Amino acid sequence: MSVTTKATIASFGGKLLKLSHQSKVTGTEMNFNLFLPPQVTTNALHKAPVLIWLSGLTCTPDNCTEKGFFQHGASKKGIAVLYPDTSPRGANIQGEDESYDFGSGAGFYVDATVDPWSKNYKMYSYITEELPSTVFENFKQLDSSRVSITGHSMGGHGALSLFLKNPGKYKSASAFAPIANPLKAPWGEKAFKGYFGESDWQSKGAEHDSTELLKKWKGGPLDILIDVGTGDNFYKQKQLLPENLVEAAKSIGQDTAVNVRFQPDYDHSYFTMASFADDHVDHAAKYLFA
Amino acid sequence: MSVTTKATIASFGGKLLKLSHQSKVTGTEMNFNLFLPPQVTTNALHKAPVLIWLSGLTCTPDNCTEKGFFQHGASKKGIAVLYPDTSPRGANIQGEDESYDFGSGAGFYVDATVDPWSKNYKMYSYITEELPSTVFENFKQLDSSRVSITGHSMGGHGALSLFLKNPGKYKSASAFAPIANPLKAPWGEKAFKGYFGESDWQSKGAEHDSTELLKKWKGGPLDILIDVGTGDNFYKQKQLLPENLVEAAKSIGQDTAVNVRFQPDYDHSYFTMASFADDHVDHAAKYLFA
């Protein structure tokens, strides 16, 4: 599980690494970025916890790295940030590059079960298992026992669903403008039908739908931070449905489990993430350093 | 001097406006961005000072807006940030789009004196006169008596040379990786020869060369902040020459006029600007609120 370093860039006192590896899970070369905070680049004895950032539709590891401003807060707190890609690339599947919301750049953090996608599109296994294994094997200055997760839009869906499917695996979760109930949203329906098939998409999709997962949550008290802009067109188009997640929390008696902050006028862009990135790093830090 | 608003984006508690206007000086439509800090978007009585950001080669107003994170510090301090373009666009001059370092995206903040550039390529007059006039006429919540200037690479040359050519016009100046002695650098020589002609480029160029201007400075004590990364390839290639600016300061008995901070390993990218943007906002704030 060797890793190729494509670039080493100084950023906020630490190092931003542009990396790639040959994934056995997806069968493709996968790019990812890793920010190492100054606490580990200058002190060999320090071990840093990790915040995983899952990006939204169309994004590569670079978008949030350049525009999300997470290094600012992560540098202060001593947290590494892992920026994976959003899908396999170059799998040579017919139609993989035809849609912005399906195929390349749109893996939806699930393991596809139907042809032709099931061979390569295994982003759930990739993000929960292979990528962190690879990272912790190659970067001993990171602490595999302290990992939190966050993300945007499709990546917000990814962050919340991975967190809720794997109690205890992540210390905390937060999201920007997450697709919080994909079974009820056009983006989610298209992705689940494509990756799970017309007959199974609702049952298999429910296993990856944060609202459905939260209704069945048996773990302890939750504290999920979510920011949604009131100027977000995809929120207005009901692609996100954060209210459904709040209702699900109430249905299990955890009224305060999901803290949705509606940010006035903010849109779906990285300007919103940059504006509140520090808050999400602080939220993760509260649990990573508890 | 009307302005067209192309987008209004919430950012760090304030508003980021994407704007354009028909420039009489350049004869073209010019795009620019303006960040209004929360202090003026929420309080009609407050007037904000302005920090002008001049971008480097190839950049539009959007690069620093998205990747420089000046909004972070400007929002806290209550400073507006003005992001102009780097040249006229679409002037329909033969060859204007052929080089990354001359013509489009490379106006070098001078008024060209030779054909075919002299008709449109008047970025010095545009930045020092027409653009601020337009901005202050259209945005009464900004204080025209308090303006500072900063920039990167070609824009660092612009910031320093405009500051040194116009004593008192700007409250302070700073720069990232500025082309500090363009007469001695390949980029500067190419630009000055192109915009001023083969016979006049050295004499006219000297009027825009920060090192030459500083040698003749008759104003008061200076305090110019400059960040240069030791991993900056253009620094290594002697395109920047900040040492010459430091020597010029010594030659006029102002040994501390130019504070060049060599940042270890940092490169020429926006990751460097993002990492130290707050420091440059703080530097400007010291003089804008003096």
Name the active-site residue from A153, A161, A174, A210.
A153
Single-letter amino acid, residue A272: T
Alpha carbon of B274: minimum distance to chain A alpha carbons (Å): 8
Cα–Cα distance, B242 to B247 (Å, whole number)? 9
Can you say how many angstroms the Cα of residue A72 is from the centroid of all Cα atoms in its chain?
A: 19
Cα–Cα distance, A25 to A87 (Å, whole number)? 12
Residues in Cβ contact with A64 at an 8 Å cutoff, skipping those fewer than 6 apart: A53, A55, A70, A83, A152, A270, A273
Mutate which of B64, B65, B66 to disrupt the A interface (most A C-beta within 10 Å)? Answer: B66
Calculate what percentage of chain A has a pLDDT beyond 70: 100
Per-residue pLDDT, A177: 98
Lateral strand order in the sheet of B258-263: B174-176, B224-229, B258-263
Per-residue pLDDT, B43: 77
Q: Tens digit of pLDDT for each residue in B39-60?
A: 998 777 789 999 999 999 999 9
Per-residue pLDDT, B202: 98
Single-letter amino acid, residue A65: T
Look at residue A42 and tell me whether its pLDDT is greater than 90. no
Give SS3 for B231: coil
Cα–Cα distance, B188 to B67 (Å, whole number)? 25
Q: Is the dihedral of CA B180, B183, B189, B195 positive or negative?
A: positive
Mark whether B268 is an active-site residue.
yes
Per-residue pLDDT, B45: 77
Can you say how many angstroms the Cα of residue B95 is from the centroid of all Cα atoms in its chain?
A: 24
In B, minimum Cα distance to A35 occurs at B271
Cα–Cα distance, B118 to B10 (Å, whole number)? 38
Q: Which pair of structure tokens corresponds to residue A13? A: 């006192």
| Cis-peptide, bond into residue A116, ω within 30° of zero | yes
Per-residue pLDDT, A41: 81
The count of structural domains within chain B is 1
Q: Which residues of A touch B17 (CB under 8 A)?
A: none
In B, minimum Cα distance to A7 occurs at B267
DSSP state, residue A237 = T
Contact A10 B274 (CB under 8 A): no
Q: What are the beta bridge partners of residue A176?
A: A152, A227
Q: Which of residues 260-279 of B touch A (CB under 8 A)?
A: 263-267, 269-272, 274-275
Among A10, A71, A267, whose Cβ lies nearest the Cβ of B265?
Answer: A10
Contact A69 B66 (CB under 8 A): no
Q: Which pair of structure tokens corresponds to residue A82? A: 């892992």
Mark whether B23 is an active-site residue.
no
Cα–Cα distance, A288 to A9 (Å, whole number)? 25
Give me the CATH number covering residue A210. 3.40.50.1820
Cα–Cα distance, B207 to B182 (Å, whole number)? 11
Per-residue pLDDT, A223: 98
- To 5 degrees, how large is the angle CA A261–CA A264–CA A270? 80
- On average, the pLDDT of chain A sits at 97
Closest alpha carbon to B38 in B13, B18, B16: B13
Helices A70-77, A270-288: axis angle to 10 degrees equals 20
A9 touches chain B (CB under 8 A): yes
Contact A69 B69 (CB under 8 A): yes
Mutate which of A17, A33, A228, A275 to disrupt the B interface (most B C-beta within 10 Å)? Answer: A275
Q: Tens digit of pLDDT for each residue in A91-108?
A: 999 999 999 999 999 999
Which of the residues in chain B have pLDDT under 50?
none
Q: What are the beta bridge partners of residue A27?
A: none
Cα–Cα distance, B29 to A220 (Å, whole number)? 59
Q: What is the pTM assigned to this prediction?
A: 0.96
| Burial of B5: CB neighbours in 10 Å, binned 0-12, 13-18, 19+ | exposed
B254 touches chain A (CB under 8 A): no
Q: What are the beta bridge partners of residue B147?
A: B50
Domain, as residue range, for A102:
4-288
Q: Give the ipTM of the model, two decimals please.
A: 0.94
Cα–Cα distance, A4 to A19 (Å, whole number)? 6
H runs (alpha helix) in B36-108: 38-41, 61-67, 70-77
In B, minimum Cα distance to A271 occurs at B11
How many other CB atoms sit within 10 Å of the CB of residue B6?
Answer: 11
Name the active-site residue from B75, B161, B232, B283.
B232
Cα–Cα distance, B138 to B2 (Å, whole number)? 7
